[in-house]
Structure 1
Amino acid sequence: MPDTGLLFVYGELGPDVTEEEFNDWYDNEHAPARLTVPGFTNAIRYKATDGVAPSWLSIYDLTTSAIVNDKPYQTLATNPTLRDRDIVPRLLRLNRRAYDLVQSLSKPDLDASTLPGKFLLLVSWLIQPELEDEFNKWYEEEHLAEIAKVPGFQRGRRYKLINSVELTHKPDPATAKPTHNYVVLYDVESDAFNQEPTFATAIQTPWTVKMIKTAKELKIRRFALHKNMERPL
């Protein structure tokens, strides 16, 4: 049965944590600890290539998003290690989100060993409730299939937000922005995927132009694979 949940974590170091310290903690302690939780399939880490913050992204495929509410994960999350307690407050940002899978499409005859892709194109949307039905219809009937025609496409997965928590501090309600309620993860072969002519064609259809104009917010981010950690057998 395919994984239907996603744990998504944005990180930004700030001036008080070095990249070496952050990666040592995340690669050797933080992510491996989560892979001991039943239902966590992997931990995949990326670094931004577009020069935009947040600079780091971690995603964990989950058998179901309900795992984040189960006792094994909650016990881990509410009992931080000494390094967790030291590093997390010094980070500029550590934002954790849970998502449910709503749509997935892979390149025909894709070799599973090529996943995750060397690069990730991340498209995040803030969609008003009254537009969600059309948004979902557009992706399912047109848009994802059009993006799949772009050279270098491997897999596209679309998710809907369940919850979002900022772990470094309590956000100010007066200044906090709403979290994007849909994200699309594209495993791709090139960091220039969204510069392909066929990508430009795919985002210029009448329906696509309409959805982009009516969305409350849209962001496109680019990342390169940093490390892929599979759950121990």
Structure 2
Amino acid sequence: MAGKGKSILFSEMTPGPDFEAEFNSWYDTVHIPERMVCPGFVSGQRYRRHEGSGYLAVYEMDDLGAMTTAAYTKVKTQPSEQSAWMLKNVTGFTRYLANETSVRAKGDVDAAVNAPVLYAVAFNVPAEAAADFDSWYEQDHVPLLMEEPRWLMVRRLRVTDGVPETYTHLALHYLADADALNSPAREKAHETPWRARLSHEPWFKGTYTVFDRTGPRQFATA
């Protein structure tokens, strides 16, 4: 079953240790299923931070219009008592909406999107530097990363809205295992002249987070 859409909602939450088990049960049985019945949603996959605490959910959508339907608006604005309590008490909240701009995968895309490790990289790129940044990422950076056999797919997305940070570019790297990040291919990708030039720019300060997939992907039932 196809699990990838053309747009995503990238959302992180960190429950307190005293209600983590309840949080996970609620997320799996209430929070994601409520969204899977809304038009435009394709699937939802949960992850846990590879180091430290915190959970991520990536919701796949046909397009960002899924966020403006009457069904989703009702889910969002009329939460149950349990949902309202959870959302009030979690910390580490992030919420980013983004449209996919490119995909490069080894083999089947729908298999790659279910990779066990997700490496998320976000940048805030000034408009005047975006063309150079995009060309570097597409022509220089991604091809070298993909030389690593465990680097299964790279999806690039443009962020349209989000909190708490202001990002413009998001890349989701789907890995067979986290040790791919220590590979010669990644080292090579980090040592090119093009990247060296960009690294001197004051805005070239990305955020880098590794997540491990947790639980099965849930699919739309609408």
TM-score, normalised to structure 2's length?
0.90
**2:28 aligned partner:** 27
**2:61 aligned partner:** 62
Opposite residue 39 of structure 1, the aligned amino acid is G
- CA RMSD in angstroms comes to 2.0
1:216: Cα distance to partner?
4.1
Q: 2:205 aligns with which of 217, 223, 228?
A: 217
Opposite residue 132 of structure 1, the aligned amino acid is A
C-alpha contact (below 8 Å) 1:99/1:163 kept by paired residues: yes
Distance 1:112 1:95, change over 3 A: closer
C-alpha contact (below 8 Å) 2:50/2:212 kept by paired residues: yes
1:150: Cα distance to partner?
1.5
**1:172 aligned partner:** none
Describe how 1:77-92 pairs up with structure 2 within 5 A: 77-92=76-91
1:182 and 2:169 matched = yes
C-alpha contact (below 8 Å) 1:127/1:217 kept by paired residues: no
Structure 2 SS opposite 1:180: coil
Q: Which moved more, 1:40-49 or 1:17-26?
A: 17-26
Q: Distance in 2 between matches of 1:159 and 1:183?
A: 5
1:165: Cα distance to partner?
4.4
Residue segments in structure 1 that go unaligned for 5+ positions in a row: 167-177
Cα displacement string for residues 154-209 of structure 1 (whole angstroms, at most 9, x for unaligned residues): 1110111111146xxxxxxxxxxx32221111111011111011110011111122
Runs of 4 or more above 4 Å deviation:
none
**1:173 aligned partner:** none
**1:8 aligned partner:** 10
Q: 2:192 aligns with which of 205, 208, 213?
A: 205
How many residue pairs are counted as aligned between the two chains? Answer: 218
Q: Distance in 1 between matches of 2:9 and 2:82?
A: 21
Identity of paired residues, percent? 22
Residue segments in structure 2 that go unaligned for 5+ positions in a row: none
TM-score, normalised to structure 1's length?
0.86
1:126 and 2:128 matched = no
Opposite residue 12 of structure 2, the aligned amino acid is Y
